[in-house]
Structure 1
Amino acid sequence: MIRPARAGDAAALSDLAVATFFETFVEGFGIPYPPADRDAYVAEKLAPAIFAARIADTDHGVWVAEQGGVAIGFAVAGPCGLPHADVATGDMELKQLYLLRSAQGLGLGGRMLETALGWMEARQPAAIWIGVWSGNLKAQRLYTALGFEKAGEYQFPVGSWRDEEFILRRPASRG
């Protein structure tokens, strides 16, 4: 089941974000983040207060994927904050979309993506943007199939560590 996040979900979403960060980037892709950088990233970007603020902000959409009442995935969308000269006021960004490894392959990721994209498209942005790690070829292929094109690159901070990220953009729907 996918549902909009509620205020009481902030701590669970923080825990889920930390778990999926480690599963995806540390274990899955084997990025050797120094522990101090991982800890700084978790404290600064994945804290319950971050999720609480986004849930409360009507400019953001936050969704929870649940199985048996337990949160197993989440998505966050909102105003584009990517460092690109062409980002315009009103542009939207898929900020996060993660599932626990044990929940992958159930179709929930695709449904969460459809939910987030539909929410952003309803706001009629000039463009929808996504930042994706340069080594995540599977995600890049998916986003390309959905009409996103590479628009640039930037250094994504994880503490003092820097990941090479691609900036993808899809123009506004004209239908």
Structure 2
Amino acid sequence: MIIIRATEQHWAALSLIAKDTFVDTFGHLYAAKDLEAHIQNKYNQAVMVHEINTEHVYLVCEDDDKAGEAPFGFCQLKPDSRSELMPEDEYASPCWEIHRFYIRKEKQGVRAGAKLMEFAMERIKEAGVKSIWLSVWSENYRAQKFYEKFGIKHSGKTFTYWVGNHADLEFLYVGKLD
């Protein structure tokens, strides 16, 4: 497996991974029209290109896919992002968000996610980041366990994430870096 930085040319592949992974993980929760609207709003070309240009977006691919033509996962690191639930006196700046972390279902369980997270954590530390955060669905136990292996823990704080008229309980996960 190799990891490369995403460019604008990768937007469609990222969008497809995001859509497929979101539907695989959460699709059963939502009405079809709400799910489709959410996907269209969050993973369209304009959004994906903007995020590629303003965040650190990395693809994980097979060793022979050096151009990133067929990635099977990606993560987005959002610089200078702080959850309103993270007081500055407790979580030092700079603070970054792990905005998205998606691995295709068929590549889960083969260390693709671990390799991508190790890479992401190296980039975060190289940037001198002191605090990181992400949100995770309260019932996504596999993801919670995964993040905890990397020292990113449930803060005890929660918030609501809306998809259409459906409210999901999200956990705020945080990590402090040396």
Question: After TM superposition, is the score higher than 0.5?
Answer: yes
Alignment of 1:132-151 (within 5 A): 132-151=136-155
Give me the identity figure in percent. 26
Assess, with a 3 A threshold, how the Cα gap between structure 1 residues 106 and 134 changes in structure 2: closer, same or farther: same
Aligned to 1:21: 22
Q: Which amino acid aligns with 1:77?
A: L
User: What is the Cα deviation at residue 81 of structure 1?
Assistant: 5.1
- Aligned partner of 1:5: which letter? A
The corresponding residue for 1:82 is 83
Q: What secondary structure is seen at the aligned counterpart in 2 of 1:70?
A: coil
Equivalent-residue separation in structure 1 for 2:77 and 2:4 (angstroms): 14
For residues 95 and 133 of structure 2, the distance between their equivalents in structure 1, rounded to whole angstroms, comes to 8
Gap change, CA 1:160 and 1:89, over 3 Å in 2: farther
Query: What residue ranges of structure 2 are gaps of 5+ in the alignment?
Result: none
Which secondary structure does the structure 2 equivalent of 1:54 belong to? helix
TM-score when normalising by structure 2: 0.85
Q: What residue in structure 2 maps to residue 170 of structure 1? A: 175
Q: Structure 1: give runs of 5+ residues left out of the alignment.
A: none
Whole-angstrom CA distance in 2 between matches of 1:5 and 1:50: 14
Equivalenced residues, count: 167
Aligned residue in 1 for 2:44 = 47
2:53 to 52, 56, 63: 56
Question: Are 2:113 and 1:118 aligned?
Answer: no
**Backbone CA RMSD of aligned residues:** 1.8
Q: Which residue of 1 aligns with 2:163?
A: 158
Cα drift, residue 142 of structure 1: 2.2
Q: 1:31-53 deviations in whole A, cap 9, x for unaligned?
A: 2x012211221122111222211
1:39 and 1:149 map into 2 onto residues whose CA distance is 31
Q: Spell out structure 1 runs of 4+ moving beyond 3 A.
A: none
